[in-house]
A = this chain, B = another copy of it.
């Protein structure tokens, strides 16, 4: 059976991939992760019906995945818009943002009120949630404590990256304040908190070497052909996408 990761194990796998032994750069992993996120959106929400994607980015690496996904969605012919109330401070984050600007992808102006977000939600067809990742720890701080309820109330379909924002990485939405996504794209391997998640569930991040997969007993599913995502079945058999 596929292994659901604790927050600590997810962190450890990430660190090993980017250690001198793993030899990956953050740029590489984020590029493949973000591409997988964009392809998961495209697999479920056709661009002729859901062209306007609002990509909500947090300040950490999860937000970086969101920026990569925004760029690829632009390449695929969607009309992405980026909402990023707390831009990340890392250089990579700024480069990824610049790449989006070169694609003429609009970024909502940073602001402490959520009027722009309200308006953007009104003009969107689907949300990509790249706010909090596996290093999230409650409480949810401002402005995200205001943002998450607004996203849920919008009734737009939500695609969450790795762990729905506001969920505990291990205990799930036990506080009831998290997003309620229609689609989830887990990265590398799913986290314990989404074990009972019943919406459509994809896996991406096809970069875990066999030796590492075996050492951590991940039992990853088989990706079809040369695809970068695989859909997980709720009964644990695999749909071919």
Majority secondary structure of chain A interface residues (helix, strand, loop or mixed): helix
C-alpha spacing A76/B223, complex, angstroms: 8
- Name the residue of chain B whose CB is nearest to the CB of A20: B98
By a CB distance below 8 angstroms, the chain B residues around A228 are 35
By a CB distance below 8 angstroms, the chain B residues around A207 are 71, 75
A104 proximal to B (CB < 8 A): yes
A103 proximal to B (CB < 8 A): yes
Pick from A25, A38, A95 the residue with the most CB of B within 10 Å: A25
Asked whether A25 lies within 8 Å of B27 as measured between CB atoms, the reply is yes
Asked whether A76 lies within 8 Å of B225 as measured between CB atoms, the reply is yes
Asked whether A104 lies within 8 Å of B31 as measured between CB atoms, the reply is no
Give 8 A-B contacts (CB < 8 Å), ordered by A residue.
A22-B102, A25-B95, A27-B27, A28-B28, A28-B31, A31-B32, A103-B210, A104-B209
List A residues at the B interface (Cβ < 8 Å): 21-25, 27-28, 31-32, 35, 38-39, 42-43, 71-72, 75-76, 95-96, 98-99, 102-104, 206-207, 209-212, 223, 225-226, 228
